[in-house]
């Protein structure tokens, strides 16, 4: 070109002006091309956050919003939104010549990243010295103003008491007391859009799922989950939590990073309906995918069954049964015993072979 520079042809300007924002690939490079109020803007396509495709996002005024996690960059300067100007993606001088849109590669601005303090959950998992630690996780949903008896919570209490008597530190987490958003499906956009720590946790400081993440990944040696049976399945709160735990498993998928090491899971399942083995099977399969280990006989359960769904009687049985209370205590003991053995040996992998694993063919 007459004015020098390293000009790259992105295509017919008339065609590119038909969309406010699009991804354009030329010569093995990807660009986010925008058109607004009669002017073009071209910036690098990769978001500074985790590489989301900016050209597949949308325009918010003069800013491109990343489709993965809503980071924003000015469509012509590449600068981040006000307050984040140091977060900058490359931008390119543009011109239209002979009906073609051209950009000058030689005068592109440089990518820069504003330093961001890592989220506390992002620290490397490391067991701190001290006694064994057990978390009881209640997934029962109820109106907190008018609490009712919960069989799974009742037996979870016996498990926690037994763990305390054995010298373990304990915590009780009630999902019903936490305010946390449902999974918003970042994995459905791209596997790498589902991040650890969770994208929602990074963006929303009020989201309280961080309590669960910290317990699972950093604090606890043992997790015992209590759930009622709801239409033959675990509680709705359990599944809401499980969907948000996809980011823990996805760290293996995208980075071959095992976050759950030397940790034990056990389960308490109580309900007026049957299908105990189906509920247990789902929970065992899911927690195995996260990296948890199970003791022999990893769950206890109680149900009155399909034909005898007499809940008043069911409550009485669970509340007064010494056998069930002892079963919960013994479950805690089995979990703690195995946890002590695993911690002493410390042989759990930090990465795992990919063959046959979830998304092992991901490229």
- Same domain as 301, residue 268: yes
- Same domain as 71, residue 124: no
- Same domain as 89, residue 202: no
Q: What is the pLDDT of residue 133?
A: 98
CA distance 356 to 140: 35
Query: Could you tell me how far CA 262 lies from the centroid of its own chain?
Result: 20
Whether 112 is in a domain gets the answer: no
Tokens matching residue 258: 């095992």
Q: What is the pLDDT of residue 115?
A: 83
User: 151-165 vs 311-320: helix axis angle to the nearest 10?
Assistant: 10
**What phi and psi values does residue 341 have, to the nearest 5 degrees?**
-65, -45
Q: What is the pLDDT of residue 1?
A: 45
| Final residue belonging to a domain, choices 44, 78, 107 | 107
Tokens matching residue 19: 């969309």
Find the CATH number of the domain harbouring 40.
Answer: 2.102.10.10
Half-sphere exposure of 279 (CA within 13 A, CB side): 29
**What phi and psi values does residue 280 have, to the nearest 5 degrees?**
-65, -40
Sequential pLDDT tens for the chain (363 residues):
446 789 999 999 999 999 999 999 999 999 999 999 999 999 999 999 999 999 999 999 999 999 999 999 999 999 999 988 999 999 999 999 999 999 999 999 999 998 888 999 999 999 999 999 999 999 999 988 888 889 999 999 999 999 999 999 999 999 999 999 999 998 888 888 999 999 999 989 999 999 999 999 999 999 999 999 988 899 999 999 999 999 999 999 888 999 999 999 999 999 877 889 999 999 999 999 999 999 999 999 998 776 566 667 778 889 999 999 999 999 999 999 999 999 999 888 888 887 787 766 665
- Same domain as 17, residue 165: no
Model confidence, pTM? 0.87
CA distance 336 to 332: 6
Whether 353 is in a domain gets the answer: no
CA distance 220 to 265: 10
Domain that holds residue 141: 120-345
């Amino acid at each position: 070109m007459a004015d020098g520079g390293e000009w790259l042809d992105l295509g017919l300007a008339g065609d590119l002006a038909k969309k406010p924002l699009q991804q354009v690939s030329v010569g093995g490079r990807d660009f986010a091309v925008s058109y607004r109020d009669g002017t073009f803007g071209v910036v690098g396509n990769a978001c500074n956050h985790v590489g989301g495709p900016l050209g597949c996002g949308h325009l918010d005024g003069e800013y491109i919003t990343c489709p993965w996690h809503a980071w924003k960059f000015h469509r012509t300067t590449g600068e981040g939104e006000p307050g984040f100007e140091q977060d900058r993606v490359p931008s390119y001088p543009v011109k239209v010549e002979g009906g073609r849109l051209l950009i000058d590669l030689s005068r592109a601005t440089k990518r820069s990243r504003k330093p961001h303090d890592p989220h506390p959950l992002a620290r490397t998992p490391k067991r701190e010295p001290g006694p064994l630690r057990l978390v009881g996780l209640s997934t029962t949903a109820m109106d907190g103003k008018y609490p009712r008896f919960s069989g799974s919570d009742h037996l979870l209490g016996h498990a926690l008491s037994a763990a305390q008597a054995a010298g373990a530190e304990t915590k009780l987490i009630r999902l019903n007391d936490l305010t946390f958003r449902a999974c918003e499906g970042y994995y459905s956009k791209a596997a790498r859009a589902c991040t650890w720590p969770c994208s929602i946790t990074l963006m929303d400081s009020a989201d309280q799922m961080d309590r669960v993440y910290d317990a699972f990944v950093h604090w606890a040696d043992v997790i015992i989950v209590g759930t009622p049976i709801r239409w033959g399945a675990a509680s709705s709160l359990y599944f809401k939590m499980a969907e948000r735990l996809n980011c823990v498993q996805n760290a293996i998928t995208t980075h071959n990073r095992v976050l759950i090491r030397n940790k034990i899971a056990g389960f308490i399942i109580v309900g007026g309906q049957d299908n105990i083995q189906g509920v247990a099977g789902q929970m065992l399969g899911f927690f195995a995918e996260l990296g948890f280990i199970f003791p022999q006989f990893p769950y206890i359960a109680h149900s009155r069954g399909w034909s005898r769904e007499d809940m008043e009687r069911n409550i009485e049985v669970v509340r007064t049964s010494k056998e069930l209370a002892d079963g919960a205590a013994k479950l805690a003991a089995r979990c703690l015993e195995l946890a002590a053995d695993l911690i002493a040996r410390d042989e759990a992998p930090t990465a795992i072979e990919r063959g046959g694993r979830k998304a092992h063919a991901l490229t």
